Structure 1
Amino acid sequence: MALILLGISMPHWLSSKNVGLGILMDIMEENPHGNTLLIMAFSIVMLNTIRALPFYIGAIMLGNALGEKLQRNWLRLAIPLAVIPLTYAIINLSIKSNYHFGIPAVIILLCIILVQLLEKGRLGLFMKSLILVQILFGVQWLDEVPFLTRYGFGHGAISTKVKKWAIEIGFDQALSLYAIVLCSIFLINAFILMGFLVRWRIVQELHIIKLEALEARSDKEVLYLVHDLKTPLASIEGLISLIGLYNKHERTKEYCRSISLSISSMSEMISEILYKSHKSCCSLKSLVDYTLSSRLSGTDKKVNLELPDQPETIKIWVNKIRMTRAIVNLINNAFDAIEGCPEGKVTIKAKTYGNQILLGVSDNGKGMNEEEQKKIWKAGYSTKYQSGIGLSFVHQVVEEHKGTVSIESKIGQGTTIWIHLAGGNNDEDFSY
């Protein structure tokens, strides 16, 4: 909206006199010359492009924002089609000169629609602006072609004078050729650039899809392998039981019981890996300890802890393996955020509110702006040159636990991502 308002105000303070067109017109009156005429034509096109650019970009941004917010893709096309002609009308009501909405403006609108249809939300604002500048600059040259006047081109006061002078001094064909060549160059370049950028984005998307497919395949192969482990474990457990039955030595029986407990624990872990819905009750302390041993084993990195008193008494109903993987992903992101910070630190935090537990991973890194905070949960999004799969996995795991995720982040102060889960003090607190 600000850009649209800027575009409406620009003709009031950026007029033809401000860019020296008045001086050039006086020169043409006294000594008509083709070179002066070309300079005038170039100045008019540049002035019209600069004045039109803000409200064209503003209309596109408004359409994209409303289309995304309301989940209506057709608004990405409808808003510019409505706003741009309306802006011309408002400008004409506010100034004396005729801010002509002619065939070039219609062509530009058609080009915008074509760009929106072809890029399908793949290009950012900067790239769209770069393409739009070239379209505006190229199409505006058609206003300076004398023989196109009868078809609705160049009815503005200055453009009309330029074409009149060109005909009077016999420079109309040269001006037409010059304008058409420049128009063609900039339009072709705009669409080649758009094609290249869209293709580059498609290649990136395909790369992300391949990474996700590769990860899914790897996970499936691991699941098959883990499933196969159950058979030898069952055999070992059976043999240990037989040894305990036939051996009367108390020390041997004790060893057999310890081995049997270890096998049961391993079998429980395998069940958690194999089945997402498999959950068990564990203490907050055991979950944090298991996470730290999984992430920090074999490294010299340190994670600070801010846990409530007696964390061993706080119980959580979780799939321990999958929740650990989710928290480890958050820890990895936190270490990435403090990379290069001499005083960077990563902290695991926990809070309790009644039967709800908030488990968070915090860093004091660079932080994120609001736009990044909205995008981080989408599969494929990453602020680094990585696949961007980790945080979408975290969101998936938390949803499996009927929990939610929230984020607190400020630029220059760091980020904390909170996992909200149901908790309790004993097994009876969990109804599911």
Structure 2
Amino acid sequence: MYLSLFHQPLDKKERFFMGTHKNNLRGLYLYSGIILLIFSIYYPLTMRNIWFSIIYKIKDAILLGDSGYLILGSALMSFLYAVKNSMMFLGIIIIIYYLKTEKSFKNKKLISAFIVLIYYIISMILVDFPQEIITTSASLIICLFMYDKLFNETSSFFIIFIMSFQVFFAFEWLNIMPALSIYNLGQSDIPYSIKTASIYLNSQAVLNFSGFAFFLSLFLLAFSTAMLYNSYSKNMKIMKDNYEKQKELQEMKSKVLQNRINNEMKTLVHDLKTPLVTIRGLSSLLSISKDERKIKEYCERIEGSVDKMNEMISCFLYENSRQSIKVEELIDYVRAQIPLEDNSIKIDIIVSDSLPNLYVNKIRMARAIMNILENAIIVPCKQDHKHIILEVKNCDFGISIMVKDNGVGINNEEISKIFEIGYSTNKTSGLGLWFVKKVIEENEGKIDIISKKDEGTTVIIYLPSA
């Protein structure tokens, strides 16, 4: 009842609200991306005082003859450009993320190029701000490449911003290198002024070295950031997948164990009927009998039935509960549970004479043997009739219980995995033989499997005598 409540299909109203929530979320991404692009256009205007401070540092470098002010000015300029371009890139990524949810947009590289083109056209129309087209375009292409190869849709926008900032920051340092002026890098006002001042101070080598050093270190840092985050994301995905598989396995294990408990309870309830019927019959006789000898006999039989019921309940409730029982009693208990309705399956039960008693949990051991028999029953068979042999005899260890079938057999590679939780050759839960081995080891026994492909499988249980 409770499960059905949680698994009912969503009605139209619920689907409508879920669809509305998704649409609102997509709309939020679109508006956020547009706002970032607009802010990155007007961002330089909000930082006029800082831009002027760069000019003052260039002036101080010339007046004091200290090229260190040029490096400080270069760092500040590169930082401001990097922030501006990173906001632009993040806005593009967020818009791409939105557009990818629309079926009509699939080529994100084409979308990116179109957005960048529109961005620069609007930027030049609205704001008279110098642009370093070459370095900005190169860094933008690299950022898009790294995003495409090393990130995915579940990546953090913050990490993407950090990576892009490092790339843009690195490439902005190329604009202040006098050696790259011949390639038309750093032709806007501030980078050109810094390089002119370095010529006046005869410190071109300092700027070339500083620019390249910062470029290389920041670019490698950006690449390392992307690689580390990519590795982290993959590891987290693997951990999540493993957790989900483990969770599914645990749920499957719980369900199968619950089913096993239910089956054991049904068997127990069925077996409890016999002593209960005995007690009821004897109690009826007690009420009409006046023979003290008979009354004593009936009381002893009632007490024996109660002890038998108590023993069965203890075996069911306590896994470590064990009693000394006859082998015949265990096999008879198994025989009563064999659900054989298929006439094409023949089961022979052979029990040797003079077998020692066993000290086991009868209920759980019977379920373990039944598990092996059930596997033998359901396994495919290439012959017209399936023949299963259950043989119990003496051995050096105590007794051996052999279940042999003429099914299709098991590969050698599968035999080594057959006792693992979740592994099955019959598309079942894969907990049967794991349970069998667990029960046998709890009762100080051993289990062995011998199988040949297309010839059949033999399972042998070894149990010590009481």
Q: Normalized against structure 2, the TM-score is what?
A: 0.47
1:201 to 216, 225, 233: 233
Q: CA deviation at 1:92?
A: 1.4
Instruction: State the shift of 1:156 in Å.
Output: 1.1
Q: Which of 235, 250, 260 lines up with 1:228 in the alignment?
A: 260
Q: How does 1:413-432 map to 2 (within 5 A)?
A: none
Task: Return closer, same or farther for 1:143/1:218 CA change in 2, 3 Å cut-off.
Answer: same
- Tell me, in whole angstroms, the C-alpha distance in 2 between the residues paired with 1:119 and 1:137: 20
Deviation at 1:57, TM superposition (A): 2.0
Cα distance, 1:77 vs structure 2? 4.7
Please tell me whether the aligned partners of residues 77 and 116 of structure 1 are also in contact (alpha carbons under 8 angstroms): no
Q: Which amino acid aligns with 2:250?
A: S
1:132 lines up with 2:159 in the alignment: no
What's the counterpart of residue 15 of structure 1?
Answer: 48
SS for the counterpart of 1:123 is coil
How far the C-alpha of 1:182 sits from its partner, in A, is 0.4
Residue-pair matches, total? 254
Q: Distance in 2 between matches of 1:224 and 1:17?
A: 69
1:120 aligns with 152
Structure 1 residue aligned with 2:88, among 49, 55, 71? Answer: 55
Give the whole-Å Cα distance in 2 for the aligned partners of 1:24 and 1:97: 20
Deviation at 1:75, TM superposition (A): 5.7
Quick check: 162-171 or 180-189, which moved more? 162-171
The AA in structure 2 aligned to 1:22 is: I
Residues 139 and 168, structure 2, Cα contact 8 Å, conserved in 1:
no
Counterpart in 1 of 2:247?
215
Amino acid at match of 1:5: I
1:191 aligns with 2:250: no
Cα displacement (A) at 1:33: 4.4
Unaligned runs of 5+ in 2: 1-33, 285-308, 310-466
Q: Give the match's secondary structure for 1:142.
A: helix
- Assess, with a 3 A threshold, how the Cα gap between structure 1 residues 223 and 13 changes in structure 2: closer, same or farther: closer
Instruction: Report the Cα distance in structure 1 between the residues aligned to 2:267 and 2:128, rounded to whole angstroms.
Output: 94
1:243–1:2 CA distance, 2 compared to 1 (3 A) = same
| Offset of residue 191 of structure 1 | 1.8
Q: Per-residue CA shift, 1:384-431, capped at 9, x if unaligned?
A: xxxxxxxxxxxxxxxxxxxxxxxxxxxxxxxxxxxxxxxxxxxxxxxx
In 2 relative to 1, CA 222–71 (structure 1 residues): closer, same or farther, beyond 3 Å?
farther
Equivalence for 2:3: none
Offset of residue 186 of structure 1: 1.0
Quick one: distance in 2 between partners of 1:232 and 1:29? 93
Matched, 1:98 2:127: no
Q: CA deviation at 1:25?
A: 4.3
After superposition, the C-alpha distances for 1:259-310 in whole angstroms (9 at most, x for unaligned) are 9xxxxxxxxxxxxxxxxxxxxxxxxxxxxxxxxxxxxxxxxxxxxxxxxxxx
In the alignment, the residues of structure 1 paired with residue 228 and residue 104 of structure 2 have an alpha-carbon distance, to the nearest angstrom, of 27
**Bigger CA radius of gyration:** 2
TM-score by length of 1: 0.50
Q: Tell me if the contact between 1:38 and 1:175 (Cα under 8 Å) persists in the aligned partners.
A: yes
Q: Secondary structure at the match of 1:105?
A: helix
Q: CA deviation at 1:84?
A: 3.1
Structure 1 residues 236, 29: closer, same or farther in 2, change over 3 A?
A: closer
Output the CA distance in 2 between the equivalents of 1:191 and 1:17: 29
The whole-number CA distance in structure 2 between the counterparts of 1:228 and 1:28 is: 84
Task: Report the residue type matching 1:155 in the other structure.
Answer: Q
| Structure 1 residue 219, shift from structure 2 partner | 2.8
Alignment CA distance shift 1:166-1:223 (3 Å) = same
2: CA distance between counterparts of 1:182 and 1:214?
47
Q: 1:73 to 1:199 in 2, by over 3 A?
A: farther
Letter in 2 for 1:45: S
1:39 maps to what in 2?
A: 72
Partner of 1:88: 120
Question: Cα offset for 1:134?
Answer: 1.5
Three-state SS of the structure 2 residue aligned to 1:20 is: helix
Aligned counterparts of 2:63 and 2:260: Cα–Cα separation in 1 = 95
CA-based RMSD: 3.5
Give the percent of matched residue pairs that are identical in Structure 1 and Structure 2: 12
Q: Which consecutive residues of structure 1, in runs of 5 or more, have no partner in the other structure?
A: 251-258, 260-432
Match of 1:171 in 2: 203
For residue 384 of structure 2, what is the aligned residue in structure 1?
none
